Structure 1
Amino acid sequence: MASFQVADASEYLAITGWGIDDVKLAKKAWVFMGQQCKKFSISPVNYEFEVHTIFILPAVFTIGPKITAAGGEESDRKDLEAQLLLYAKLIAPLHSSRSHVQELVKGIIEGETRVLAAELTMKEIFKGTKTFKEKVFNRVQLELNQFGLVIYNANVKQLVDVPGHEYFSYLGQKTQQDAANQAKVDVAEARMKGEVGAKKREGLTRQNAAKVDAETKVLSVRQQGQGLKEEAKFKAEVQVFENERAAEIAAAKAELAMKKAGWDKQAKVAEVEAAKAVAIREAELQMEVERKNAMRQTEKLKAEQLSKATVHYDTQVQESNAQLYSRQKAAEAKLFEQMRVAEARKAQADAHFFEQKMAEDAKLYAKQKEAESVGLVGKAKTEYVASMLQALGGNYHALRDYLMIDGGVYAEMARINAGAVNGMQPKISIWSNGGGADGAGNAAGEAAAGSALQQVAGVYKMLPPLLSTVHEQTGMLPPAWMGALPKDDAATN
């Protein structure tokens, strides 16, 4: 049997059992017989508490399993699976009891905070609160890695003094006072800077104005000289350009004459090459004719040899097919014989199994019938006792006495007592269940009623003298449920 299990978006399946070495994590999977499947949530949870060390650290941590890989590499994916596996083994079974995880996280934070606080002074902690918090987070994260947990968000409120130790409050007051004094100093410095800056600005304005006037005059003279230099440079460049153009024209004429001579040479060489190419082509065509003749002779010889080889190959193939066919038939005959033997063995095994099954069914049927007979006997006894109790008018004590008499309890007691006084001279008492009028009354009652009630009543009357005699001869008292003996004065009377 198998069932298909699917986890929610914020859940994972942890499967163990048959066919799985350790624990298998999946979002959906078939769960077979011999396997167990548990769902666990991967949603982060908020834990709010106060860490008490040499100071009080109120904190709210959002902690949960790691669900995203650091990168897209295969090693990152394997690391993520390992973290989820750690969480499924160690924390997920206890996730329902959130207090356990909260105590675990609180213990780690308290331990790391105490260790870090021991390394710093109170002043360093107060001045570098942000750095102190970051160090606490980093150390706590290192400890949570072994449980597959990661801190998604951490919010640590202002550090609070332990009652009786107001160090942080005094440092805060000192800081406020220092800030107020520093503000006063800053205001005075700002006023001084404003007045000095105004005077400096006024002087700099006058200096810059004079400087700009001087630079303007120098710049105008410099611009006039630069204009004259540019004009002379332009004339020189025009002359150079004209000379370069004349040289380029002469070079072009010389290059044209050289190209004409080259073209004449190429034309004459082309005529010679054309004549030689015709002769070469005639020789090549003659060689192609000879080669075709040789190929024709070769193909003819190949055809003759191929026909002989084909006949020989077909003959060998037919002989091989005949041998293969005979071997296949022999193998099929042997396989058929083995199948018949296996079928015969299977039939014998089925017959033996059917025989054993019938024997076991017969035993089971006999036991069922025996159980039914026991049940019927018990039911009959129950109905018998119920009918007797109804006949006795619901008198439980009368029914009990009758059953004891019918079971021979009193006869067995008398036999045991007789064996105990054997060889002695006991006191013999003789009693009856009444006579005379009582006997006549009983006879009339029996004739009239025709039931066993009168007999039971007669036996019941015999019990007091019987119990009295047993007590006198053996010293044994009757059990409390049978009644008590009469007192001495009552017996005497």
Structure 2
Amino acid sequence: MSSEKLPFVLPAVFTIGPQMTTLELGDAAKAAVEAKLLLYAKLIAPLLLGGASASRVHDLVKGVIEGETRVLAAQLTMDEIFTSTKKFKQEVFDSVQKELNQFGLFIYNANVKQLVDVPGHEYFSYLGQKTQQEAASRAKVDVAEARMKGEVGAKERTGLTLQNAAKVDAETKVLLARQQGEALKEEAKVNAEVQVFQNAREADVAAAMTDLAMKKADWDRQAKVAEVEAAKAVAIRDAELQMEVEIKNAKLKAEQLSKATVQYDTQVQESNALFYGRQKVAEAALYEEMKAAEARKVQADALFFEQKMAEDAKLYAKQREAEALSLVGKAKADYMASMLAALGGDYRALRDYLMIDGGMYAEMARINASAVNGLQPKISVWSNGDGGSEGGALQQVSGVYKMLPPLLETVHEQTGMLPPAWMGTLPKDGTAAN
């Protein structure tokens, strides 16, 4: 019966028996076959001993087949069973084989026949009639379509040719675009990996780049200072030469003109020479200040670049340190989880293991030993003779041992901690051990 409560008949023939073949099998497969034969022997033992009827095994296998088939059919609709018959048969075969494994039986062949209607529920018959009607209607539609195609065939051929050509062109462009996209993806992936490697390398050479920038700034400053000094010397020399030229011209004119004119011209030329010399000195000083300002700007840029590279290097180091701490924490968490799983989820056993592995018990023993190191206690046990001299002395020690079980039990009730195995265990009945 399907999930829609529709009954149907599923004729089937199964060839079932013990698995006997062990040829070309490994040792493990042979052992599995022997185990299945042992299960089969246990199944048929009552038959051989006369304790059961011969139809017992047949009824058992038949019940397994019918039960598994009913369970699978109840999960599917009738349409799913009919349209997916092959899948339904395979699921029935697998389910039955899984149940028969516990009896050492093997399905050699399974022949599931066509599904049959139950009298009064002609689902498959109506479904066949529906299929025939749909086929007839489809045939009529096909005839009409063929007639229509015959009438418009020539024009449709031309249109289809143009459409197919356009489709091929479009698919070619799409394929080309897809290939270019894949190439761009691979290139971006490679570029990303190269960028990651370059970033890692840049952090290593940051200090060298800073030193190089400082040295370049110093060299530029020295070169510009030298240029300023050279330009200033040239300007001063130019003024001196101009002054000498003007003086010589004045002397030459003094020889040709009158004394007054010569004196006047000489004074004018000297004034001009003095003005020209002062002007050149002022221009040299201005040029020197401009070059000095440029040198200070270059030096400030180099210092800013150095600080920036140092900060970037510190940031990269912090990031790497954070990643390392994250990996260490994850490794510790995985280690703790694996240790807890290996110990069966026992947190107390894990705690004892960690204390032993960390050397805590050894450290406690060392601290206790150092606390009493150097002490030489003198203990005298006095007895009044009750129970003998030896019995009186050992009675104190016996009292101490009797006190330990209640003490350990109290600690266990309050803290949940158990004493180590070498110290002793609590009595199961909760009373102090004598």
Q: Same fold (TM over 0.5)?
A: no
Which is greater in Rg?
Answer: 1
More helix by share: 2
Using the size of structure 1 for normalisation, the TM-score is: 0.28
More strand by share: 1
